[in-house]
Amino acid sequence: MFQIGTGFLGDIRKLAIVSAMFLRPQMFLKLDAIDLEQVNTFPKKFKYMMLAQVALVTLTTLITLVFFLAHFPDF
């Protein structure tokens, strides 16, 4: 509920949080943030799709950062 209306960066943050829950479910189990049964029943196809999106966003961010540093050294 606290992430509603945060725009594009909020959407990326929500995707990253959910993807992290699939990558490291044991860590979130300790926090009582997820139910392991729901993680196990979630379709693997969608898990990989979410992880691929996070990887693409990370790669795009790194490429953009390198571009800015190369073209604007005072930035």
User: Average pLDDT for consecutive 10-residue bins of the chain (75 residues)?
Assistant: 68 80 83 83 84 85 89 73
Sign for the CA dihedral angle at 20, 26, 31, 32 comes to positive
**CA gyration radius for the chain?**
16
For residue 9, give the nearest of 71, 61, 46, 63 by alpha carbon: 61
pLDDT value for 71: 84
pLDDT value for 3: 57
pLDDT value for 63: 93
Structural domains in the chain (count): 1
2 in any annotated domain: no
Question: What residues make up the domain containing 27?
Answer: 7-71
In angstroms, the CA 40 to CA 69 distance is: 42
> Is the full-model pTM beyond 0.75?
no
